[in-house]
Chains A and B, each alone.
Chain A
Amino acid sequence: RKEVEQDPGPFNVPEGATVAFNCTYSNSASQSFFWYRQDCRKEPKLLMSVYSSGNEDGRFTAQLNRASQYISLLIRDSKLSDSATYLCVVHLSGGGKLIFGQGTELSVKP
């Protein structure tokens, strides 16, 4: 079983749609959680950190459920520029490395 698993893609949605990505992680020692965005042939860039209380940044909302080891990302009113691959990322306690999910590709169409 992969340490971080994400919804398979691609997600093809029209502009203005709301789209949700889910992610589960297997290691209970996971300490910190992030969503990164990766555009085609570019490096990953931090989209947002994920807090236990849930957090929102504009059109983006992230949720964490430690009991279920589940992370989500909600994108409201999707834009063409949101088209990218979204990476669910976990940081384990006591170490430096990030564990990445395989990513979910989002394509927003006019």
Chain B
Amino acid sequence: GAGVSQSPSNKVTEKGKDVELRCDPISGHTALYWYRQSLGQGLEFLIYFQGNSAPDKSGLPSDRFSAERTGGSVSTLTIQRTQQEDSAVYLCASSSEGSKPVLSRETQYFGPGTRLLVL
């Protein structure tokens, strides 16, 4: 398909383990975003990539969270030493250009998310 894809769709892990979440953006989209949505909460921004660089990491909640993007395409969000409060849906989005003031280019398209449960 042509949309944003994420894997795995569901992940159950034990407290203290590391997890890796993957996002494949829409082909050609230069901007990639990670958000998370906890139960009953709104979407919370985590990190934004423009190409392979991350000009805004302000939303990462702690140094246990990190993300990288290679080849201007796939991104991986890593959570080290997971805690129960990390349980959430992790959503990835992409857009054709992140910072230009043109609405069509700013539109972010979301993947289906990874549901993470930390026991």
What's the Cα separation between A93 and B102 when bound, in Å? Answer: 11
Report yes or no: B99 in contact with A95, Cβ–Cβ below 8 A.
yes
What's the Cα separation between A109 and B41 when bound, in Å? Answer: 25
A19 interface hit (Cβ, 8 Å): no
* Chain B, Cβ-Cβ closest to A97: B45
What's the Cα separation between A93 and B103 when bound, in Å? Answer: 12
Count class of interface residues, chain B: 20 to 34
Report yes or no: A46 in contact with B107, Cβ–Cβ below 8 A.
yes
Known A-B contacts A32-B101, A32-B103, A43-B91; the reply to A98 vs B45 at CB < 8 A is yes
A14 interface hit (Cβ, 8 Å): no
Report yes or no: A32 in contact with B45, Cβ–Cβ below 8 A.
no
Known A-B contacts A97-B33, A101-B42; the reply to A45 vs B110 at CB < 8 A is yes
**B 77-119 binary contact with A (CB < 8 Å = 1; else 0):** 0000000000000010101001101010011111111000000
* Chain B, Cβ-Cβ closest to A6: B42
Report yes or no: B101 in contact with A31, Cβ–Cβ below 8 A.
yes
* Chain A, Cβ-Cβ closest to B104: A49
B50 interface hit (Cβ, 8 Å): yes
Within 8 A of B (CB), among A6-45: 31-32, 34, 42-45
Report yes or no: A103 in contact with B109, Cβ–Cβ below 8 A.
no
Identify 9 residue pairs between A and B in the complex whose beta-carbon atoms are under 8 Å apart, listed by A's number: A31-B101, A43-B91, A43-B110, A43-B111, A43-B112, A95-B56, A96-B56, A97-B45, A97-B59
A residues with a Cβ closer than 8 A to B are 31-32, 34, 42-46, 49, 51, 87, 91, 93-103
